[in-house]
Amino acid sequence: MENRKSLPFTDAVIHEVQRFLDIVPFSVPHYALKDISFRGYTIPKSVLREEKQWATPWSFNPKNFLDHNGNFKKNPAFLAFSAGKRACVGESLARMELFIFLVSLLRHFSFSCPEGPDSIDLVPEFSSLANVPRRYEIIATPR
């Protein structure tokens, strides 16, 4: 974990994956279907896709979490673990585990797709009730 600050792009990719995708298998979309006003608060259609908060809200772009010097920057609109009373109590542990897991995989393996990287579509498939991750053949080659 002490290397996390020296790997800002990796941290940005992890955050962007969480922002861009509903990554829980068989998960319903995590956003409101329209802007909502509730007790004086405005809840936008999707805070993770709000045009005012993100440079490229509808495409995968880790630069959403990097400043002009390439350093990791937080965005207050990033609420992958919810907020307020409903915030995930295990958020810091989950962030640490995501980072260690991904960095360990990348350290020990090179990943490729038989059809090439351009064949991967990041948009999930939608069934009648859920977002379903697309299936791909991925080759993990030990380094």
- pTM of the full structure: 0.77
Counting the structural domains of the chain, the total is 1
SS3 25: coil
Q: Are strands 109-112 and 139-142 parallel, antiparallel or unpaired?
A: antiparallel
Which domain, by its residues, includes 32? Answer: 4-142
Instruction: Give residue-wise pLDDT tens across range 6-20.
Output: 999 999 999 998 888
Instruction: Give residue-wise pLDDT tens across range 100-138.
Output: 999 999 999 999 999 988 888 877 776 655 566 778 899
